Amino acid sequence: MLVSKEFTFDAAHFLTKYHGKCENLHGHTYRLRVTVEGEIGEEGMVVDFLELKKIVKEKVLDKFDHHNLNDFFENPTAELVAKFIWDELKSALNLYEVILWETENSFVTYRGR
């Protein structure tokens, strides 16, 4: 069974290896969906939503929200940020996928491959 929770965070960035508007400092309200996979346990849940929220807040949101992503990445593309998020969460959660929206209509999906 798959269980997902969505989050948002605001962050700035500029792309250092891109030539166009996005090479200038700008910000986004990112939307993040974290999906875990597992079997229903004794409590009737795959994962407690409160525990999922706590882990994502601790490992991702507290780092990125209202920060410049260039402080963490040389070239903070949505692809690289999504992979980083996966790597931060994989030891604490049985991840299925991470989806990161940079804008309302533009997003990346990462499944750890």
Active-site amino acid positions:
22, 66, 102
Give the span between the Cα atoms of 12 and 40, in whole angstroms. Answer: 38
Which amino acid makes up residue 55? Answer: I
3-state secondary structure of 5: strand
Find the helix or strand (DSSP H, E) in which 88 lies: helix 78-89
End-to-end CA distance of the chain: 20
Residues 78, 81, 83: CA angle, nearest 5 degrees: 110
